[in-house]
Amino acid sequence: MEMTAVGSGEVRVRARSAAVAGARALALAVGGLTGSVVLFVLAVVSIALVPIGVGIVTTPWVLTGVRAFADRRRIVAAEWCGVRIPAAYRPLPADANPWARCFGMLRDPATWRDLGWLPVDMTAGFVTALLPAALLLYPLEGFALALGLWRVFTDGTRVGWWYGFVPISGQATALAAAALGAVLLAASCYLNPPLLRVHFLLTRSVLAPGEGELSERVRVLTETRRDAVDTSAAELRRIERDLHDGAQARLVAMGMDLGTVEALIEKDPARARKLLAEARRSSAEALTELRDLVRGIHPPVLAERGLGDAVRALALRLPLESEVNVDLTGRAEAPVEAAAYFAVSEVLTNAVKHSGADRLWVDLHHADGMLRISVTDNGKGGARIGAGTGLTGVERRLGTFDGVLAVSSPAGGPTMVTLEIPCALS
């Protein structure tokens, strides 16, 4: 009895996995074909218009869309099948003019990998994505034939339809079609997840950078480390300035007030009491400023409770309705937690300032050696890296830890910002 229950449970798990893989594959086939065709045509036309000047303006926008499309495929490849597809785009200055932006993107080998992937995705990629969906849906036709649909195609004396390799000429052959459909449906329980993985492996074979780009990778890592050093130096200067202009000035003023109180406590007690009240108020304000400063350096809740609770505390202070889902089985190293915390803080600040949203969703989880954080809002969309909204700084902060940032923000919304940092949990 127990073995039967275990067997039926395994069958249910396989059937559910096959159904999920088939549904995802169908979405990839339809969405991938549509997106690849549209973006490939736009890219070819836009690049062809570069010599007459029009393409200089349009090409960066089109290639940004191609990158976003490729980044979205990278995300679902990692989330659905654990296939990691690294991105190695060359950074562009945030204030680059259209000319520099256009030719900077065209000189990037990653751009041409993306463009080469689009025709692959609309052909071989479409077929590999369609196979799991076909294994799941094609058996339905066999079952329908057995239930009487065969009468639509034949009068029982001649072959009026073929189901696979079975010629349908009557009820007996319709039942054979149903048997073949059952075999295909059973096969889908074992083949659908691996077939979906094959689709993403094909994608990785085209999109992943080759060994010849190792020097480029070293250059990017060197630049991100230099950015990290510059950011740290700027942060130290900010802390010094805040201490000098804020808490330190208040403490100096409080010391002067207390010195005056000592001189007046015998001669003018009323004046002394007033100065003591001002000193007490100054001490409270100095303490508040010091707490805010410490929270900006390393929030106590992050050190004591971890990243999940720290992000929840961030969300509670937002003027928008928010929902935070955390699925972390341990804690990352302190530098990784700090980088993730301040990156999420910047993304949330951008959403509040620029999105026009009234609701936010934050999801944190760890899988396949990656800490993944997604921030979604129901705002107006249009966010992009390098648009002066702070996302460039977030990308550089993550780059220090070999992390990546992906933004999906179509006009009209919603906006989804995904952060990934490779790390292990304790």
Between strands 370-377 and 415-422, the pairing is: antiparallel
pLDDT for 65 beyond 50: yes
Q: Give the Cα separation of 85 and 252 in Å (integer).
A: 56
What confidence category does residue 5 fall into, taking pLDDT thresholds of 50, 70 and 90?
very low
Among 90-94, 291-295, 304-308, 413-417, where is mean pLDDT lowest? 291-295
pLDDT number for residue 1: 44
pLDDT number for residue 132: 92
* Segment 326-349, tens digit of pLDDT: 888 888 888 888 888 888 888 888
What are residue 408's DSSP bridge partners? 416
The domain ranges of the chain are 1-209, 225-297, 305-422
In the β-sheet with 321-327, what is the strand arrangement from edge to edge?
321-327, 359-367, 370-377, 415-422, 404-408
- What's the mean pLDDT when you consider all of the chain? 81
pLDDT for 61 beyond 80: yes
Decide which of 84 and 294 is more confident.
Answer: 84
Under the phi-then-psi rule, with left for phi > 0, alpha for psi from -120 to 50, and beta for the rest, what region is 381?
left
pLDDT for 228 beyond 50: yes
- Level-2 CATH architecture, domain 305-422: 2-Layer Sandwich (3.30)
* Segment 169-184, tens digit of pLDDT: 888 888 888 899 899 8
* Segment 83-119, tens digit of pLDDT: 888 887 877 776 678 888 899 899 888 899 999 999 9
What percent of the chain shows pLDDT beyond 90? 22
For 123, the token pair is 């052909």
pLDDT number for residue 410: 82
What confidence category does residue 38 fall into, taking pLDDT thresholds of 50, 70 and 90?
very high
Decide which of 149 and 364 is more confident.
Answer: 364
pLDDT for 15 beyond 50: yes
Contacts of residue 240, Cβ cutoff 8 Å, sequence gap at least 6: none
For 337, the token pair is 């937690």
pLDDT number for residue 24: 92
Q: Give the Cα separation of 228 and 205 in Å (integer).
A: 32
pLDDT number for residue 267: 73
Handedness of CA 141, 145, 151, 155 (dihedral sign): positive
Among 32-41, 94-103, 235-244, 357-366, where is mean pLDDT lowest? 235-244
